[in-house]
Structure 1
Amino acid sequence: MGLGLGIFGWIIIGGLAGWIASKIKGTDAEQGLGLNIIVGIVGGLLGGWLLGLFGVDVQGGGLIFSFLTCLLGAVILLTIVNMVRGRK
Structure 2
Amino acid sequence: MGIIGWIVLGLVVGALAKLVMPGDDGGGIVLTILLGIVGALLGGFVGRLIFGTDLGGFFDLRTWVLALLGSLIVLGIYRLVTRRHART
Q: Same fold (TM over 0.5)?
A: yes
Contact preservation (8 Å) 1:14, 1:40 = yes
Aligned residue number for residue 72 of structure 1: 69
Residue identity opposite 1:21 in structure 2: A
Q: Distance in 1 between matches of 2:9 and 2:56?
A: 16
Which structure ranks higher in relative contact order (CA pairs < 8 Å, sequence separation ≥ 6)?
Answer: 1
Q: Aligned pair 1:10/2:6, yes or no?
A: yes
How far apart are 1:28 and its partner, in Å? 5.9
> Over the residues paired in the alignment, what is the CA RMSD in angstroms?
2.0
Give the number of aligned pairs. Answer: 82
4+ runs of 1 displaced by more than 4 Å?
Answer: none
The 5 A counterparts of 1:1-88 are 5-27=1-23, 30-60=26-56, 63-84=60-81, 85-86=83-84
TM superposition score normalised by structure 1: 0.77
Bigger Rg, structure 1 or 2: 2
